[in-house]
Structure 1
Amino acid sequence: MASWNSVELEVLFYVLGWISFCSWAICFYPQLILNFRRKSVQGLNFDFVVLNLTKHTSYLIYNASLFFSSTVQRQYRQKYGFNQMIPVAVNDVAFSVHAVLMTALTLFQIAIYDRGNQKFSKIAITIVSVAWLSAGACVFVALPTHSWYWLVSCFNTLQIVMTTIKYMPQAVFNFQRKSTSGFSMGYVSFDFLGSATSFCQMMVQSIDQRSWVNFYGNIGKTLLSLVSIFFDILFMVQHFVLYPSKKKTDVSPSDDACGLRRNQTYRAVSSQACRLILVIS
């Protein structure tokens, strides 16, 4: 069984892992809080949420299986070498559990808060249905041969596909509206930090082991980080460069009426004051 060659790199590995976990854990809360305060989910693309739930559920199955199952671990080492470290850490499992719960809570908010005229697209529903039917078919294929690592790799592949496409509906939605209103940039910021530190964590392990196996041995985690970083940068460009928030300069009808009354009163008082000055003079 592989072990760490450097204590310093081992410590750095776990520090980066927990920074990644905390960032990815926190990233869900800005959107949840924003929805709660507005009692509305308008501006949040529903397809993004349902695809995200499928992604995190499949990723949880992969992480938990590879971390806890000795059988899956043995089959992994048979494929990549018995001197290789398992590419899933405890923070990966903790993140997946938390992500499934928070995404499910966001889906619950969609059910109870004001949605406007937004709804789930038929395309997203079809994608999710096909994804889980395919996963079910993989289970039946793996049963006769007990190919458990192959099976959890199928779930890893599923989460890779979901990661690749889940951000697209929100990016397109922002483009169509020419606005990022209703979509929390707090989510984007913490997601970016979590993705960057997760990728750095994998690099630290590779440097210590003098092997890049963990990058393609856990291709799901690798692509999760890289794809997330790409779309987070895209969302930042949309928010800060393409569609920056405009200060509210428009005056509402009620405010305008109040302002008109104040101006009329001011002019009346000023007129009376001028007359008084003329009389005194």
Structure 2
Amino acid sequence: MGAEWNSFPLQVLYQVLGWFAFGTWSCSFYPQVILNFRRKSVVGLNFDFVVLNLTKHSSYLIYNACMYFVPVVQYQYHLKYGFSELIPVAASDVAFSIHAVLLTWLTAYQVLIYERGDQRLSIVAGVISGGAWVAAAICLIVAWPEGRWLWLVSGFNLIQVVMTLIKYIPQAWMNYQRKSTVGWSIGNILLDLSGGVGNFLQMGVQSIDQGSTQNFSGNIGKLLLSLIVIAFDLFFMKRGGKAAAKAEVESSPLLSNVIILFIIFSRAAK
């Protein structure tokens, strides 16, 4: 018997929470993109954060897409966790990952074209990101002969957890050294926190419906992602983010932001 939901209301709630997390997490990218465009500068945005974030989201996209679309990966998941268990990746997870990669690339493009001051990508961040992809390539070589595809994609999930754990550190340290958050959008943190909570609750709903915690252990990356995001976002908010967010929102009317986004994407498409 295939995996299926036991409660239709819980299934609906699961989808609602998933798309809520998608919406808030996706929107969390835009305050920084808009802020960069308004200032025509990326001074204050840590480049290590951008590069580590790109590695994180690219790895997470590979994991989510494979878990959601590739039958052999799903089969190996069921072999390990049981055929009555639901796949712990939703369509909203895949949609978020695609959107996140595109917006992170857009932010990286802004780093190239706008004023940067004396900021540079650190050697450490370059080595970490490069090392992550080398490790992924080695895992591919190891997994290929025996067809250990679940093990391989789980490796990408592990990479995204590690990147999530360390990606905030350069920005937090930079803010501390400058004693300022100018140039870095606090608005993305408020939205990021909401997405983390929604993502965690979504996993909880699936666990309640299935009467099992296998979805937590089966997608430990998604669980740790939510918890790490919540912890770091609360830290940033505690360090004075609320006042910065208020000032940022007051100076950024909704209509003008929509127009700015239209201009940004129009230029990026050329």
Q: TM-score, normalization: structure 1?
A: 0.85
In the TM superposition, what are the counterparts of 1:248-263 in structure 2 within 5 Å?
none
String of CA shifts for 1:170-197, please: whole Å, max 9, x gaps: 1111111111111111110111111110
Partner of 1:147: 148
CA distance in 1: counterparts of 2:241 and 2:58, whole angstroms: 32
CA distance in 2: counterparts of 1:17 and 1:127, whole angstroms: 30
State the Cα distance separating 1:143 from its structure 2 match. 0.7
In the TM superposition, what are the counterparts of 1:230-245 in structure 2 within 5 Å?
230-240=231-241
Rg larger in 1 or in 2?
1
- SS of residue paired to 2:85: coil
In the TM superposition, what are the counterparts of 1:105-120 in structure 2 within 5 Å?
105-120=106-121
**Does the aligned pair in 2 maintain the 1:174–1:238 contact within 8 Å?**
no
Partner of 2:181: 180
Return 5+ residue gaps in structure 1 as ranges: 248-281
**Does the aligned pair in 2 maintain the 1:238–1:244 contact within 8 Å?**
no
String of CA shifts for 1:85-132, please: whole Å, max 9, x gaps: 000000000000000000000000000000011110010001011111
- SS of residue paired to 1:88: coil
In the TM superposition, what are the counterparts of 1:173-212 in structure 2 within 5 Å?
173-212=174-213
State the Cα distance separating 1:230 from its structure 2 match. 0.6
Question: Partner amino acid for 1:64?
Answer: A
State the Cα distance separating 1:244 from its structure 2 match. 6.3
Partner of 1:16: 17
- SS of residue paired to 2:223: helix
CA distance in 2: counterparts of 1:72 and 1:218, whole angstroms: 13
Return 5+ residue gaps in structure 2 as ranges: 248-270
1:225 correspondence with 2:234:
no
- SS of residue paired to 1:85: coil
CA distance in 1: counterparts of 2:111 and 2:239, whole angstroms: 24
State the Cα distance separating 1:239 from its structure 2 match. 2.5
Partner of 2:126: 125
State the Cα distance separating 1:69 from its structure 2 match. 0.5
Which 4+ residue blocks in structure 1 deviate beyond 6 angstroms? none
Question: Partner amino acid for 1:99?
Answer: A
CA distance in 1: counterparts of 2:241 and 2:197, whole angstroms: 20
Partner of 1:56: 57
Question: Partner amino acid for 2:53?
Answer: N
Question: Partner amino acid for 1:80?
Answer: Y
CA distance in 2: counterparts of 1:181 and 1:38, whole angstroms: 10
**Does the aligned pair in 2 maintain the 1:65–1:72 contact within 8 Å?**
yes
CA distance in 1: counterparts of 2:244 and 2:56, whole angstroms: 30
Size of the aligned set, in residue pairs, is 245
Q: TM-score, normalization: structure 2?
A: 0.88
1:42 correspondence with 2:43:
yes
String of CA shifts for 1:116-170, please: whole Å, max 9, x gaps: 1111001000101111111000000011001111100111111111111011111
String of CA shifts for 1:233-269, please: whole Å, max 9, x gaps: 111112248x969x9xxxxxxxxxxxxxxxxxxxxxx
What is the identity percentage for the equivalent residue pairs of Structure 1 and Structure 2? 58
